[in-house]
Amino acid sequence: MQENRSDGTYNEELVEKSLWVALSNIHGIGSQTFCQLLKTFGNPSHIFDASYPQLKEVVSDAIAAEITKGVNHDALSDSLRWLSQPNNYLVTLADTQYPQALLEITDPPPFLYAKGNLALLNQPSIAIVGSRNASVQGEKNAEAFAQGLSEYGLCIVSGLALGIDGAAHRGALKARGSTIAVVGTGLDIVYPAKHRDLAHQIVEHGLIISEFSLGMPSKPQNFPKRNRIISGLSLGCLVVEANLQSGSQITARLSAEQGREVFAIPGSIHSPMSKGCHQLIKQGAKLVDSLQDIVEELDLSKQDANISVVSSEEVKTNHAVLTLMGYEPITLENLVNLSGLTVSEVSSMLMLLELEGSVASLAGGKYQKIV
């Protein structure tokens, strides 16, 4: 274990860990090929010791030739330097800390770079995912559900993206619960940069993990790939808002294929951000309009009482304008027409409601009630 860095076994362990990285650096070796090599030879040290004819029985000629060249130690310097820093880990399939839930999926990562609390890898978890371009209400729902589920003892797993992901992480942290961010870059890169502070909070109170090598930038193909880890770690996946082409659809599909529960929050029939959730519900996802729907499905035991559910509460306000707003975005002009008040009066009311957190100002001069 890397925690024992002060004793004499540290260097030997670090060298052994570096062999996992060295093998993954060979072009053509993905997670499935890596696991097949492990199944045949046992560990990376034995793989590098294998002969060319032995390797050809498992991999292509080109890959076998690269392996027999041995370990490129120069290429490992950045990884070794990163691993030597406190709270940085490489968790491999050979480690007891490796998440048992990932052993159940068809394509487990051979190892994970990790930063934070490793114990969370084997804590009961739920994924909360959704659109990067989420509505104010969508983010509020994600945060509230994450907070409530944290109070039931679940670790909140998401992808550190803008929108729903970030709101889910914040909800878990707000509840003083635990959260795991599964990212699509190397762990020495924070993406998106806007979430740098959030990432630091997660490292302090949770865990950030990645299967991608250090220095790996943000690439479109990385994010669908990491989604299998988000779903694989979790008992179920809650999709808060998603359009039909959202990466959240991939996560939900993987959850179903992995035998996990899929939950979706419905929304307006007019909103593109609801169409993905509605499609999932048509395909068999459980419709969720309260925290209790998930609690009952997963048979959770309440750890902390008095958990509030945003979607089941009525907004309490004496402002007539708020009553007129409904649940769809609405323009100032329409509110003036509906209320019979002047533009100045409605604008003043909206300003007060924004300060209270009851209304959000949207692009295009529209406003939306927050429930």
> Does the pLDDT at position 121 exceed 60?
yes
Signed CA dihedral, 346, 347, 348, 351: sign only: positive
Q: What is the pLDDT of residue 367?
A: 84
Contact 233, 200 (CB under 8 A): no
Q: What end-to-end distance do the CA atoms of the chain give, in Å?
A: 47
Residue-wise pLDDT for 259-294, tens only, equals: 999 999 999 999 999 999 999 999 999 999 999 999
Q: What is the pLDDT of residue 357?
A: 77
Q: Identify the band that residue 330 occupies on the pLDDT scale cut at 50, 70 and 90.
A: confident
Average pLDDT, the chain: 88
Tokens, residue 106: 């068809």
Q: Identify the band that residue 309 occupies on the pLDDT scale cut at 50, 70 and 90.
A: very low
Q: What is the pLDDT of residue 7?
A: 42
Alpha-carbon span 99 to 60, nearest angstrom: 30
- The closest of 275, 259, 273 to 329, measured between CA atoms, is 273
Q: What is the pLDDT of residue 196?
A: 97
Domains located in the chain, CATH noted: 10-86 (1.10.150.20), 118-311 (3.40.50.450), 320-369 (1.10.10.10)
Residue-wise pLDDT for 51-88, tens only, equals: 999 999 999 999 999 999 999 888 888 888 899 899 99
- The closest of 297, 285, 298, 259 to 104, measured between CA atoms, is 259
Tokens, residue 95: 């480690």
Contact 56, 64 (CB under 8 A): yes
Q: What is the pLDDT of residue 282?
A: 96
Asked whether the bond before 192 is cis by omega within 30 degrees of 0, the reply is: yes
Quickly tell me which residue has 């998440």 as its tokens.
99
Q: What is the pLDDT of residue 370?
A: 81
Higher pLDDT, 326 or 220: 220
Q: What is the pLDDT of residue 345?
A: 76
- The closest of 225, 252, 274, 16 to 107, measured between CA atoms, is 225
Residue-wise pLDDT for 17-62, tens only, equals: 999 999 999 999 999 999 999 999 999 999 999 999 999 999 999 9
Q: What is the pLDDT of residue 176?
A: 94
By the 10 Å C-beta count (0-12 exposed, 13-18 middle, 19+ buried), 288 is classed as buried
302-324 average pLDDT score: 44
Quickly tell me which residue has 């999932």 as its tokens.
280
Alpha-carbon span 186 to 242, nearest angstrom: 26
Residue-wise pLDDT for 145-203, tens only, equals: 999 999 999 999 999 999 999 999 999 999 999 999 999 999 999 999 999 999 999 99
Query: What are the C-alpha distances in Å from 6 to residues 10, 11, 206, 297, 367?
Result: 7, 10, 24, 46, 58
DSSP character at residue 213:
P
Signed CA dihedral, 141, 120, 206, 108: sign only: negative
> Does the pLDDT at position 360 exceed 70?
yes
Give the strands of the sheet with 330-331, arranged side by side: 330-331, 366-369, 359-361
Tokens, residue 150: 């944290």
Q: Indicate the residue type of 208.
A: I
Contact 209, 200 (CB under 8 A): no
Q: Identify the band that residue 302 occupies on the pLDDT scale cut at 50, 70 and 90.
A: low
> Does the pLDDT at position 354 exceed 90?
no
5-9, 112-116, 239-243, 270-274: least confident range = 5-9
